[in-house]
Amino acid sequence: MTNNQPLAGIRVLDVSQVMAGPFCCMLLGDMGADVIKVEPPQVGDSSRRSMGFRLKGEDSPGFLALNRNKRSIVLDLKAPADRDTFYALVKTADVVVENGRPGVADRLGIGYDTLRALNPRLIYASISGFGPGGPWATRPGYDLIAQAMSGLMSAVGIPDQEPVKNTTPVGDLGSALFAAYGILSAILARQTTGEGQLVTASLFEAALGLSIWETAEFWGTGKSPQPLGSANRMSAPYQAVEASDGWFVFAAANQKLWLALLAVIGRQDLADLPRFLDNSARVTNARELIELLRPSFRTRTAAEWVDALLAAGVPSGPILNYEQSLASEHTHARAMVQDIAHPVEGSFKALGFPVKLSATPQVVRFPPPLLDEHGTEIRHELADKGLIAEPQAA
């Protein structure tokens, strides 16, 4: 298969498990990188056995969702012979990605300083819960903990209710995106310097780094942001409301949209009230404002309101569940659902590529690998380069 994608020729060693590291490496693989997933013996990536349901094979749907466009080799990094094979791989690699707790990689003999000595051009990405330094560095890294300790959990959910987290794991997935961004930047820097570097990302810093509105509010007011439900910190009204048959969302995010909204719902009487005169006043009085608007929205169905608001230029939409969203014509028009052929599953559905490249589009070159599916193949490649002895036939 010809690979003319942007990262063709870049080799990535994925020495990570579960979500943050594997998602980062999958993104690189989707752009054409040769991603080799290095897995421990017997169980492999622990996410292979996660989740409480299966399709046909032993690997979980979660593992399948995070590991396309990779090859798998099993190496016991505590065993000298397998560690030497890993060192041989490092000499051929451009990038290593690991997401263990700080200190674990060094104890295994695969820390940054050790691998950089083998390959000075190596870009080493380390994703952890809280980063390699600071008083929280050695704490376990879980998305729930990062959301809690970054401040994010204090500002999501319904006012005066028990704390909730963002169900989408923004710490895990955000750190993966930031790590990929750092890796690509380091690849560009290497073109000038000729040397690799250490890239660090963490779940905590990702959750905090994405808290743009919340930190702006805190520094601007001196008060920690509180939960707003579906409302917005910078614009009002901008949230979910209940129609006669269910809920929908709309966003009157500026003065023009505010006046258009009032015209649609027949509440022009609110336009000249000082406490709702501009966006700043409406944000300050958002709770009172939405209570005044709620009776109007209960007079028609959600679909009727969405159609009427869109016709007036006010952003609006239904609240879809995942079944509805994945089945929508728009989702399929944007190729966000794909069927991936698999040697055990036959095929399975997966999300498509959320960013599109016009000249070098992403493709699924490899389905998520079976454990050690490519181990012999990769060892032969290393032997051909004279880096290890030719593997013996089984």
Catalytic residue numbers, as ranges: 172
Q: Which two tokens stand for residue 295?
A: 């009776």
User: What pairing do the DSSP bridges indicate for beta strands 95-98 and 11-15?
Assistant: parallel
CB 157 within 8 A of CB 229: yes
User: What pairing do the DSSP bridges indicate for beta strands 34-39 and 11-15?
Assistant: parallel
**Amino acid sitting at position 251:** A
